[in-house]
Structure 1
Amino acid sequence: MKFLVLLIIAIVATCNGGVLNMNQRSLDSVKSDWGYVTVREDAHMFWWLFFQDPTYQPSFLSPLDPIPVLIWLQGGPGASGTGYGNFEELGPLDLDLNRRETSWTGMGHVLFIDNPVGSGYSYVTNSNAYTTNIDEIAADMVALLKGFYGKHPELKTNPLYIMCESYGGKMAAASALAISQEIEAGTMDVNLQGVGLGDAWISPMDSVNTWGEYLYETGLLDDPGLAAVNQAAQATQNAVNNGDWSRATNLWSLTESVIINHADNVDFYNILSPHHPNLASRRNTRNLTGLVPEELIQGYSQNVNNYAADPLDALMNGEVKTYLGIPESVTWGGQSNAVFNAQAGDFMKPVIDTVDKLIATGMKVVVYNGHLDLIVDTPGQELWLKKMNWQQLSNFMSMDWTPEYAYKGKDTGGFSKKIDNFEFWWVLKAGHMVPMDAGEFTLHMLNDIITA
């Protein structure tokens, strides 16, 4: 009888997203909660919250009080935060379900969200329910958070920070602004304090137009290669100038293909990574014909499907799916190609003005970038920064940067510049996935963002 009662409790907790800490196996060794929010008709978004765990507290930092809520948004669009960001970058467990010592859960409650709807475990039941632009994504995020805080009202007063990576930068910027507007209108009651735009796709053409020179200066392109990349980038720029946004997205994907061919398959996420990793078990070797338009196959494979490579795909569609009680009809990442396709007309549009508006709200706005990243290279980030209408821009540009260290005595981990509520961080020895490549330094940066 006792066994039957325990079994029933376990089933109910799994199906409904219960808070578990039973120490029966690896996934149970961390305290978490999860659930779905129907943000619109036919649109169901998934979230997974990991509560702050003092055993993960970094030894070189003081505990934060009050404990912040740290939202993580992945890139793509179509990549999964509950999968990649969680198990590959900053969650409490790694791909082998072993403890990650640089998990952000030592500093705060970490909320992974699969967005846009259709990413990860999020799903639609009607193809018309996919978002097609950044404003729709932001509206869904507002609805998701209203549902989340409806279940966890005790966290409403905790400082809220939205952190992100890659295309997640566009989503985070738009979402933070939408939340700020909701707060001002009195329709949302949360303690939004800041946004961290990590290797963020804020101004796509400033990245594309600097790819060639960046690779050339690092010895990864010769003169003919530079000419070929610049020619492809110029074609992309022409499409943007003509307002042909879908064609610009297609040509962006083509430019990536040109780089792959001329730079011996350079890794877009970290230029120092091996150019020819073992692809035998990679999910991106699957036949994408029919799933993605031919002209976008390179872009999708590089910037979404790479985030769902085995063994992550097997973990998320196996043990994790069972543990969370995800509906049988939902395949983790099964709608990511449709998400990517639906955003094609909005993908290359810049959102520099959104960053200006965020700064004007008074919240903390932080841009950080790994200096080995190619897809969102630091020269491109610096270029769009100079296009802001921020009143303090000239003072900011004239400042010297400050060396930053993960802890006293450690080698330089990066540099920062800060004026008022805006900051820019250069992260050394890191590529696109800053929390993965520079785990300790990222914790230092995160602590500084929250406490300074």
Structure 2
Amino acid sequence: MKIAFHLFVHFSLLVLVSCYGGNGYDPLENALKIQRSRRTIPKHASKDATVENSYIPVYVGPQDGLKDADKVSELPGQPAGTDFDQYSGYVTVDPSHGRALFYYFAESPINSSTNPIVLWLNGGPGCSSIGGGAMMELGPFRVNADSTTLSRNKYAWNNVANVLFLESPAGVGYSYSNTSSDYTTGDAQTAKDSYAFLVNWLERFPEYKTRDFYIAGESYAGHYIPQLTQLILQNNKITNQTVINLKGIALGNAYVDDETSNTGMYDYFWTHAIISDEIHEGIISNCNFSEGANITGECNYYQSEALTAKSSIYFYDIYAPLCSTFSNSTPSISGFDPCTGNYIHKYLNTPVVQQSLHAKPVQWENCNDFVGIHWKDMPFTVLPVIQDLMASGISVWIYSGDTDGRVPVTTTRYDINKLQTPVKTPWYPWMYQDEVGGYVVGYQNLTFVTIRGAGHFVPSYQPGRALAFFTSFLEGKLPPDQ
């Protein structure tokens, strides 16, 4: 009965789901429009915004035998010679609601018993870490154009870490709840559920309990990661609770502050010849994007003009072609196939694939707009939380693909300016294969890295440079200057 209800809820939401890559589709903006219309009182995430005053015990279910059951014998179409173990399945985070989060875990081919573990989170809010992170970006495989076979990603991040991809919150990807109201969620509940997932997952995989642990992700994970990290550090202080050996976080093209998200995006459009001087001046003269400010009709007009001028540019990677029948004749500068999202969608909806992943038979979608549009709590800024994390002693990195127009490098620079942290290592170009891979600034308790020629989904467009940056992050060293 519960499974039948779950399937009904999933299929009832299909009219409100979509995926990155669709022309003009922007799940972050869809969610932000709703949030901005609701805000009447200034609100931001304080340093203890996601932490209860008193500890509430986390549900921990029996995990015996579930690791073996989750082992993936083989993904359909995977290339011969696959030399690492894979696991996927569900972890219950709330048995009373029947809420369970889905994961995919790729161990390292070499040194899996000593390499750190990295949790990867995609954003949205409401978008899949399996379809995005695992299949399109940093996972061990890429889906081929036939939507049935896979190719090995030689720049996969599991070369240097054991990587755990989590579909969060419930309603995203294969994750689900048997209680329909759970699909109306927000930042605080997502952090709590992700923490409950980790505690239970570590019981299922106890050999990783003491392993160095990192969290990385992009876009709206700029909210997910700081708030989850804050919760982990707070709960680590409870001596009778599982201690997660958290060492660092990496935020990629991250949405962390609503004011800088707006000012940085329109400044980027102007400096990259996407909007005219007149439109840019109209926005500067008429828009106040600060917390609690009123957005005037004139401001809305010029924002609309900017989006019209952007037109058919895929602004997650402004120099990439759109997915179309002409894509093969107009290759991406980075070599990334802009129709990859379509191949992934078909692959992850193939029954034999879902069976191999131990997923329930549902219509998988990369992004669930119902979740994003009905998001309950979205603080105007999480910069105070990031400041708290910078002072905690863990490693905090912010990275930015410099061809992303959605959360561009200008936005990230404005974010860092608001953090008001002094420079320790001045700006310099870092090198990869005798070329500039990007640029670095080492701040006090913060590292900022750009990845040259990468869009919003950094490992998709520049996989070699992304792996080089990520390796430096894990080693706690600035990327090399030669």
- Give the TM-score of the pair, scaled to structure 2: 0.73
Structure 1 contact 79–307 (Cα < 8 Å) conserved: no
- SS of the equivalent of 1:163 reads strand
- Name 1:45's counterpart in structure 2: 101
User: How many Å apart are 1:36 and its aligned residue?
Assistant: 1.0
**What is the identity, as a one-letter code, of the residue corresponding to 1:43?**
R
- Name 2:236's counterpart in structure 1: 183
Q: Is 1:127 the counterpart of 2:183 in the alignment?
A: no
Aligned pair partner of 2:78 in 23, 26, 33: 26
2:151, 2:423 → 1: CA distance? 46
1:134, 1:307 → 2: CA distance? 31
- Name 1:429's counterpart in structure 2: 453
1:355-404 CA deviation, whole Å, 9 max, x = no partner?
01111110000000011111111111111212126xxx1345xx521321
Change (3 A) 1:109 1:257: farther
Q: Which runs of 5+ in 2 are unaligned?
A: 1-64, 145-149, 328-337, 477-482
- Name 1:204's counterpart in structure 2: 258
1:254, 1:163 → 2: CA distance? 36
Structure 2 contact 102–175 (Cα < 8 Å) conserved: yes
Task: Within 5 Å, give how 1:399-410 maps onto structure 2.
Answer: 399-407=425-433, 410=434
- Name 1:172's counterpart in structure 2: 225
Change (3 A) 1:415 1:428: same
2:129, 2:300 → 1: CA distance? 23
Change (3 A) 1:38 1:241: same
2:86, 2:423 → 1: CA distance? 44
Change (3 A) 1:64 1:113: closer
Please, which moves more after superposition, 29-38 or 334-343? 334-343
Structure 1 contact 47–114 (Cα < 8 Å) conserved: yes
Q: Is 1:371 the counterpart of 2:363 in the alignment?
A: no
2:339, 2:373 → 1: CA distance? 16
- Name 2:211's counterpart in structure 1: 158
Aligned pair partner of 2:142 in 94, 103, 120: 94
Change (3 A) 1:307 1:241: farther
1:119, 1:38 → 2: CA distance? 15
- Name 2:126's counterpart in structure 1: 78
User: How many Å apart are 1:280 and its aligned residue?
Assistant: 10
- Name 1:356's counterpart in structure 2: 387
1:76, 1:253 → 2: CA distance? 23
**What is the identity, as a one-letter code, of the residue corresponding to 1:278?**
S
Task: Within 5 Å, give how 1:31-430 maps onto structure 2.
Answer: 31-40=85-94, 41-54=97-110, 66-96=114-144, 97-130=150-183, 132-186=185-239, 187-227=241-281, 234=287, 237=289, 240-241=291-292, 258-274=305-321, 276-278=322-324, 309-318=341-350, 319-328=352-361, 330-333=362-365, 336-343=368-375, 345-347=376-378, 349-388=380-419, 393-396=421-424, 399-407=425-433, 410-419=434-443, 421-430=445-454
Q: Identity of aligned pairs, percent?
A: 25
- SS of the equivalent of 2:255 reads coil
* Structure of greater relative contact order (alpha carbons < 8 Å, 6+ residues apart): 2
1:66-93 CA deviation, whole Å, 9 max, x = no partner?
3010111001011100111111111111
1:247-306 CA deviation, whole Å, 9 max, x = no partner?
99xx999987643411232222111113x541899xxxxxxxxxxxxxxxxxxxxxxxx9
- Name 1:442's counterpart in structure 2: 466
Q: Which runs of 5+ in 1 are unaligned?
A: 1-12, 55-62, 282-305
Structure 1 contact 42–129 (Cα < 8 Å) conserved: no
1:325, 1:278 → 2: CA distance? 33
**What CA RMSD, in Å, does the superposition of the two structures yield over aligned residues?**
3.2
Change (3 A) 1:267 1:255: farther
**What is the identity, as a one-letter code, of the residue corresponding to 1:415?**
Y
1:166-210 CA deviation, whole Å, 9 max, x = no partner?
001210111111111111223222211100001111113202112
1:256, 1:278 → 2: CA distance? 27
Change (3 A) 1:333 1:231: farther
- Give the TM-score of the pair, scaled to structure 1: 0.78
